[in-house]
Amino acid sequence: MDDNVASAGTSAPPAPVGPYSQYVRSGSHVFCSGQLGIDPATGELVAGGIEPEARQAMENLKAVLAAAGTSLSRAVRVEVFLSNIDHYGQFNLIYSKYFEGIRKPARMVGAVAALPKGARVEISCIAEVD
């Protein structure tokens, strides 16, 4: 199995939607590809708008980090793309819950014209790994 692809299972993220690795380990860091709010069981975006999509994207990111041998607590930089900057406040409410009680990484948020599969949010990160 390619060690840059998370293994299958209930906590595994969905398969990539293109020809790329879910993560790449380089030295003491893991570089994670962007995660959408895709339900790993169905391969489709979760229904309900920005909040469920943001939650699922964060869960998918957690699963990729776990497969790479690290976690959100070791994240050093997060990049977020929103299809509508008006979702910024709603996104922050979800995002902040994933970093309660742990170090908050550096972050950038940008608005884009469109995301794959019509997603509302895409999240990637760089994290430390042993």
The predicted-structure confidence for 16-40, as pLDDT tens digits, reads as follows: 888 889 999 999 999 999 999 999 9
Q: Is residue 2 part of a domain?
A: no
Mean pLDDT (whole number) for 100-126: 97
Residue with token string 């959100």: 72
| DSSP strands (E only) in 11-128 | 23-26, 29-35, 75-82, 106-111, 121-128
pTM above 0.95, yes or no: no
CATH number of the domain that residue 31 is part of: 3.30.1330.40
Contact between residue 90 and residue 48 where contact means Cβ atoms under 8 Å apart:
no
Distances from the Cα of 14 to the Cα of 8, 83, 104, angstroms: 9, 20, 25
Q: Is residue 18 part of a domain?
A: no
Q: Is residue 46 part of a domain?
A: yes
